[in-house]
Amino acid sequence: MTLFALRRLLWAVPVLLGVSILVFTIARVIPGDPVLIATGLERADPKILAETAQRLGLDRPLWVQYADYLGDLVRGDLGHSLRHRRPVSALILGRLPATLELATAAFLLAIAAGIPLGVVAAVRRGTGFEHAAILGAVGGMSVPAFWLGLLLILLFSLQLGWLPATARGGSLPGAFAALLTGGGLSPLWRSLSHLLLPALALAAPTTGLMVRMTRSSMLDVLGEDYILAARARGLSERTIVYRHALKNALVPVVTIAGLFLGRLLGGAVVLETVFAWPGIGRMAVLAVRSRDYAVIAGTALMVAVGFVVINAAVDLVYAWLDPRVRYD
């Protein structure tokens, strides 16, 4: 198992190298001059533009620029933002906690709602509950998250006035820490009240998929011979479903769920704009617009690292859930 884990992590190196080449090239191949965009069309001066490009090394061949970038990367330097004039690593570290908090909250919501609903839908096959669950799931998957986000804002902030529309109400771990050190409930409530709407909007598509995945996987497992055998032994339906069927049914769900945590990080990009959430997503969008190469590459690499780590973790959980899986 340890050897497997190590090998799994080693595999990440070529993947990340590939990602860095791709992101680096794509960012630079798309038309658009970062210096011109930063200066603004109205005050563009050809001489100054050329000089600046030269000083930033943007006039050198692409592979030379990449070699430079990779050299810095190996030393842990993600480069310098043209727009913010600050190290990219500092920019990302400042914003990553907010994005992680939002993605994790959405993930937990999706699991907490998706898996139980899927199980119940499978167990109560053919009932109105199943139909309603499937309908809700398809709805959640089909609705674009940013649109759902706007609807939630209109309903809960504008109409009902229950929850704030935008911004982060302080860090959630910080609020928990405050609660434990006697700071009272109000920081926690403030943090949660700001988090709830964006997390709901972000969680909706994933929840829908979880419901469907869990339900169909559960149905498959419930039709297996060993379940029939368990029934023949006279075990209670409860024991059959929760002790025997659920663990096996969850194997494919966990695989997908892991991938979805990665996808949630990406989905947060759009919702961060709608909810003015101070994460890396908004910075990434602006970086693409202003061709801030180092920030584009840095954020993409961060998300890629997230994906790789999550995938590795999923593989390990997979092995734990299903001991038949062999890793040679």
Binding positions for another protein, rule: CB under 8 A: 30-33, 36-48, 51-52, 55, 83-85, 91, 94-95, 98, 150, 153-154, 157-158, 161, 164-168, 273-279, 282-283, 286, 289-291
In the complex, minimum distance from the CB of residue 158 to another protein, in angstroms, rounded to a whole number: 5
Signed CA dihedral, 238, 244, 249, 254: sign only: positive
In the complex, the smallest distance separating the C-beta of residue 185 from another protein, rounded to whole angstroms, is: 22
Please list, in sequence order, all residues whose beta carbon lies within 8 angstroms of the beta carbon of residue 312, skipping any fewer than 6 positions away: 5, 8, 9, 12
Give helix then strand counts, H and E, for the chain.
14, 0
Closer residue to another protein, CB minimum distance, 286 or 309: 286
DSSP string, 148-206: HHHHHIIIIIIIS--S-SSS--S-HHHHHHHHHTT--SHHHHHHHHHHHHHHHHHHHHH
Minimum Å gap between C-beta 45 and another protein is 4
Task: Between 212 and 282, name the residue whose CB sits nearer to another protein.
Answer: 282
DSSP 3-state helix, strand, coil percentages of the chain (rounded to 5)?
80, 0, 20
Pick the closer one to another protein by CB: 18 or 173.
173
As measured in angstroms, the least distance from the Cβ of 286 to another protein is 7
Of 27 and 312, nearer to another protein (C-beta) is: 27
Of 74 and 158, which has the nearer Cβ to another protein?
A: 158
What's the closest the beta carbon of residue 207 comes to another protein, in angstroms? 23
Alpha-carbon gap, residue 174 to 170, rounded angstroms: 7
- Residue closer to another protein by CB (options 87, 164) is 164
In the complex, minimum distance from the CB of residue 83 to another protein, in angstroms, rounded to a whole number:
5
Nearer to another protein, 46 or 126 (CB): 46
- Shortest Cβ distance from residue 85 to another protein (Å)? 6
Identity of the residue, 29 or 74, whose beta carbon is nearer to another protein in the bound complex: 29
CA atoms of 169 and 22, how far apart (whole Å) = 36
**What 3-state DSSP class applies to 17?**
helix
CA distance 32 to 314: 39
Q: Is the dihedral of CA 103, 105, 108, 112 positive or negative?
A: negative
CB of 173 to another protein, least distance (A): 17
Q: Which residues of 246-276 are buried (b: 16+ CB within 10 A; e: fewer)?
A: bebbbbbbbbbbbebbbbbbebbbbbbbbbe
Interatomic CA distance for residues 323 and 286, integer angstroms:
46
